[in-house]
A and B are shown apart, each in its own frame.
Chain A
Amino acid sequence: QTVVTQEPSLTVSPGGTVTLTCASSTGAVTSDNYPNWFQQKPGQAPRALIYTTSNKHSWTPARFSGSLLGGKAALTVSGVQPEDEAEYYCLLHNGAGWVFGGGTKLTVL
Chain B
Amino acid sequence: EVELVESGGGLVQPGGSLRLSCAASGFTFSSYWMTWVRQTPGKGLEWVATINQDGSENYYVDSVKGRFTISRDNAKNSLYLQLNSLRAEDTAVYYCGGGSWFDYWGQGTLVTVSS
- How many angstroms from the CA of A1 to the CA of B47 in the assembled complex? 13
- How many angstroms from the CA of A57 to the CA of B102 in the assembled complex? 10
Interface residues on A, range: 20 to 34
Asked whether A102 and B44 contact (CB < 8 A) given A1-B62, A45-B95, A97-B59, the answer is yes
A interface residue numbers (CB < 8 A to B):
1, 34, 36, 38, 40, 45-48, 51-52, 55, 57, 87, 89, 91, 96-103
Asked whether A48 and B45 contact (CB < 8 A) given A1-B62, A97-B50, A97-B60, the answer is no
- How many angstroms from the CA of A96 to the CA of B46 in the assembled complex? 14
List residues of B (69-115) whose CB comes within 8 Å of A's CBs.
95, 97, 99-108
Query: Which DSSP category, helix, strand, loop or mixed, fits chain A's interface?
Result: strand
- Shortest Cβ distance from A97 into chain B, in angstroms? 5
Of chain B, the residue at the smallest CB distance from A100 is B45
**B37 CB-CB contact with A under 8 Å:** yes
* Choice from B44, B62, B103, B104 contacting A100 with Cβ under 8 Å: B44
- How many angstroms from the CA of A91 to the CA of B47 in the assembled complex? 9
- How many angstroms from the CA of A41 to the CA of B59 in the assembled complex? 28
Of chain B, the residue at the smallest CB distance from A40 is B45
The answer to whether A91 and B102 touch across the interface, beta carbons within 8 angstroms, is yes
**B11 CB-CB contact with A under 8 Å:** no
The answer to whether B100 and A47 touch across the interface, beta carbons within 8 angstroms, is no
The answer to whether B59 and A89 touch across the interface, beta carbons within 8 angstroms, is no
